[in-house]
Each structure stands twice: as structure tokens, then as C-alpha cells.
Amino acid sequence: MGKNVLIIGASGDIGMAIAEKLVLSGYTLLLHGYQNKARLHEFRRRHDSEAVLDIIEANLAKPEGIQNFINQLAYSVDSVIYAGGHAYYGVFQQTPDKVMDEMLSIHVKAPWLLTKHLLPYMIQKSDGNIIFITSIWGREGASNEVVYSSVKGAQNSFVKALAKEVGPTGISVNGISPGFIETKMNGQLDEDEREAILDEIPLRRAGKPEEIANLVTFLLDKHSPYIHGEIINMTGGW
């Protein structure tokens, strides 16, 4: 089982929870971040220096940032977790073109190009894991989050299509589709909005980043090789 795991968006709440879990499970990490780089360096200080091979800072919203990221990759990557992303709230017809371009770059173009770069090594060794953290809105769609819903839906489609293409090579491709999770991304909701959402969730609570991390670890484990091309919902029944 490959041990070098690249986490895209490791400085976010879900990405950081995944990093914490994988370090405890014996993996070595390459961590990507951009807007909260200090969090990644603090994580490195708290753990064995050999547990974090590298911290890569790159703005994946820009074409030059994607290429800069690829140029900085100095280690082999056995598995990649796409945990990064940005939401955008607003009426669709008022969404600026710049926002659309950046959302497409972060959620679609960057994963395309990075996966394309990483696949030859995985195919050569007939092993590897590609895991996307998508969103419930990629399946259901959300008013005032049309662009975000669209790019997350694209990730779901990419997972399913790529899984069919690379399955014969031994590479595993899956997605995790979270519902309402306790993250800073959802921190902009006021109390009434939050309670309205929780009322719709059968478990009557938000999910925890650590619960997403637990599923990522399971998918990386040798005990789950027949789970392939799936978008696994983690929504509390929402």
C-alpha cells in the first residue's frame, strides 16, 4: 500500500482532519494550501518531521498557479485527496465571470491537470488512490450556489468516468459527498439558517470533519479495494 499521500486543500477544516488522521495511521504527507499556509506549518511542527514530506503553496485558481504546483512536486505520490475548494453564494445571473473562471479552475481544471500528471506513476506501479471530497450540492443542486453545485457535479462525473478508464490498472477512484459539516465554510450561516438545516437532517446534527477523515482512511486501506467509482454520501440522512 502506498504511503505518500498528497492532500489538496490541506489547510481547510476537512483537509486538516484528514491530515491528522493519516499521520496517526502511518502515512507520510504532502500538504497543499494557499490562503492559510500558517496552519500547515503549525501542523508540521506538531508532528514528526518525517511525517510531512513537503508543504506546497500554490493558487489553483490561476493557470500559472496550477503549473507552479506541478513544478514543485518533488516526491512520488501514491494517493491524492482532493479536499480543497471554495463556495460562492449569490444569485447566478449576478455571478461575475472572474468568479466562474476561478471556481472552474479550482474544482475542475486543477484536478484534471494534477491527476493527469500523477497517473503515469500510479499506472506504472498498478496501484494508487484518487479521492475527491465533493458535496451534496453536486448531486442535489442548491439555489444561490449554482456555480458551486455545477463544479461539484463535475467532480462527481469525473470520478465515475475516470474510475471506468483506470480500473483495469489497479487504481482506485472514489468520491465522498458530505452534507452539512462543521466547517468555516458553513460558519457564515446565522442561527436561524443553521437550525432550519438541522431540522431537515434525520440525525439532527452537523457532521464532523473527523468523520470525513475516517472514511478517507477506510478508502485508502487495503480492506476496501472493491469500492470503486462510487460517490459515497455522508449526510446524516439529509
- Amino acid at residue number 188: Q
Phi and psi angles of residue 233, each rounded to the nearest 5 degrees, phi first: -80, 135
Q: Please state the three-class secondary structure of the chain as a single string.
A: CCCEEEEECCCCHHHHHHHHHHHHCCCEEEEEECCCHHHHHHHHHHCCCCCEEEEEECCCCCHHHHHHHHHHCCCCCCEEEECCCCCCCCCHHHCCHHHHHHHHHHHHHHHHHHHHHHHHHHHHHCCEEEEEECCCHHHHCCCCCHHHHHHHHHHHHHHHHHHHHHHHHCEEEEEEEECCECCHHHCCCCHHHHHHHHHHCCCCCCECHHHHHHHHHHHHCCCCCCCCCCEEEECCCC
Choose, from 27, 34, 82, 148, the residue flagged as catalytic: 148
Q: Is 45 left (phi over 0), alpha (psi -120 to 50) or beta?
A: alpha
Residue 148 catalytic?
yes
Catalytic residues: 148
